[in-house]
Structure 1
């Protein structure tokens, strides 16, 4: 019985409703980065860099978050 209780506790999901918002924000940031990248006007290097850093941070957070599901 004790081993079954430990196995049940170890298999609990860490999913929260906030995870959905994190994934949505990541998609929005990726869309913004793509639009900045393909713009034909003069490219704003600061905006590209800032968006790239935000995208990398959100992608790393999403990977860590999904690995806990």
Structure 2
């Protein structure tokens, strides 16, 4: 995991499907090269957490299981 901003071409950010657009807590993700970047949708200039795909897949699988 890293908190470094993505380099090279700009990542294409997308908002969580759980976001209702009413200003609640929400994250945005971007798949960029071999990494996944996550940021707070209310602070797009703030910190970005970056994880590799090999760590992201098990995280998403565990999240879906509850």
Q: TM-score range by the shorter chain?
A: under 0.3
Q: Provide the TM-score with structure 1 as the length reference.
A: 0.27
| Structure with more helix by fraction | 1
Flag the structure with larger Rg: 1
Relative contact order: is structure 1 or structure 2 higher (C-alpha 8 Å, sep ≥ 6)? 1
